[in-house]
């Protein structure tokens, strides 16, 4: 679906934000991209829909070199949600915002209304439909930006830090929606610092640092590598920290478990067997 071949990018000709990135993401994958601040994640995903063009190397979308495609053409395939919703929202109501993106992709008007309503509803925005995005709370505004792209159901979804400003419940609802769209065959790519979100929902993780991919593979193996955790400036989730501490105190505690339930069982075994 998306292939990057040795992509380089520099904003100012001095500092290189991407230094030879190659990757392949197949149709229907669910992929997380993680990395420290300034690693190049946003720069990378802006290449997925042609907002940025490689200064060296190539980006292929569905086999076509993006050098020969317009942003309009690419954005029919790849829907991108920006890290900062302010860079995306410009209309006077949430409804108009979502309808605009549906219109620009040529949806018929009856479908526009329906898609708009369902998406706003699912993202907990139904009551805010007529409000101006600029008067919304930060988390709400982020969800409007997500709605305007999710509503169009693109083949590839590329989301830059979608969980910013979201409470636990909203995060779960968003994950459900992404799952559902993925089950329909869509490719879902998410940039995030939220390691629990990634461990819970994403089978594949690409780890970036200093403009390069430093690991790419099954989430469980990428995120259990101390070197990756350090370079990507991540910290282990609480449950991992807990089992690591427990395994030093007690024999026979497996450090591979991460869920609350696993750990509860482990603790019951420890204290029950005293």
Ligand X SMILES: Nc1ncnc2c1ncn2[C@@H]1O[C@H](COP(=O)(O)OP(=O)(O)OP(=O)(O)O)[C@@H](O)[C@H]1O
Can you give the binding site for Mg ion, defined by CB under 5 A? 42, 83, 137-138
Binding-site partner at residue 217 among another protein, ligand ADP, Mg ion, none, CB < 5 to 8 Å by type: none
Strand pairing category for 187-191 and 156-160? parallel
* Six-digit token string for 229: 């955790």
Which listed residue (55, 70, 220, 241) binds another protein by CB under 8 A? 241
Looking at the Cβ atoms of 51 and 91, the one nearer to ligand X is 51
Binding-site partner at residue 96 among Mg ion, another protein, ligand ADP, none, CB < 5 to 8 Å by type: none
Judged by CB under 6 A, does residue 135 bind ligand ADP? yes
Which listed residue (70, 109, 137, 221) binds ligand ADP by CB under 6 A? 137
Binding mask of the shown chain, residues 160 to 179, with x at each position contacting another protein by CB under 8 A: -x--xxxxxxxx--------
Residues for the chain: how many in total?
Answer: 274
- Provide, rounded to whole angstroms, the least separation between the CB of residue 26 and ligand X: 23
Q: List interacting residues with ligand X (CB under 6 A).
A: 11-12, 17, 35, 37-43, 83
Q: How many CB atoms lie within 10 A of CB 141?
A: 21
- Cα angle 189-80-9, degrees, rounded to a multiple of 5: 85
């Amino acid at each position: 679906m998306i292939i990057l071949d040795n992509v380089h990018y520099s904003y100012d000709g001095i500092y290189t934000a991407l230094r030879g990135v190659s990757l392949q993401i197949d149709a229907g994958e669910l992929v997380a991209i993680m990395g420290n601040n300034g690693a190049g994640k946003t720069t990378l995903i802006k290449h997925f829909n042609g907002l940025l063009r490689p200064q060296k190397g190539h980006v292929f979308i569905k086999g076509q070199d993006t050098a020969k495609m317009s942003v309009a053409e690419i954005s029919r395939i790849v829907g991108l949600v920006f890290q900062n919703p302010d860079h995306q929202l410009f209309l006077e109501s949430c409804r108009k915002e979502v309808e605009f993106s549906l219109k620009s992709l040529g949806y018929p008007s009856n479908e526009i209304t329906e898609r708009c309503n369902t998406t706003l509803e699912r993202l907990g925005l139904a009551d805010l439909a007529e409000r101006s995005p600029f008067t919304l709370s930060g988390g709400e505004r982020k969800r409007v930006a997500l709605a305007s792209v999710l509503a169009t159901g693109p083949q590839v979804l590329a989301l830059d830090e979608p969980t910013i400003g979201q409470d636990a419940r909203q995060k779960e609802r968003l994950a459900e929606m992404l799952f559902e769209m993925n089950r329909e065959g869509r490719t879902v790519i998410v940039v995030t610092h939220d390691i629990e979100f990634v461990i819970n929902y994403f089978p594949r993780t690409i780890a970036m640092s200093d403009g390069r991919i430093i690991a790419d593979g099954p989430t469980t193996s990428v995120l259990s590598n101390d070197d990756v955790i350090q370079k990507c400036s991540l910290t282990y989730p609480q449950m991992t920290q807990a089992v690591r501490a427990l395994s030093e105190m007690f024999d026979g505690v497996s450090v591979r478990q991460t869920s609350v339930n696993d750990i509860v069982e482990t603790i019951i075994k420890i204290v029950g067997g005293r």
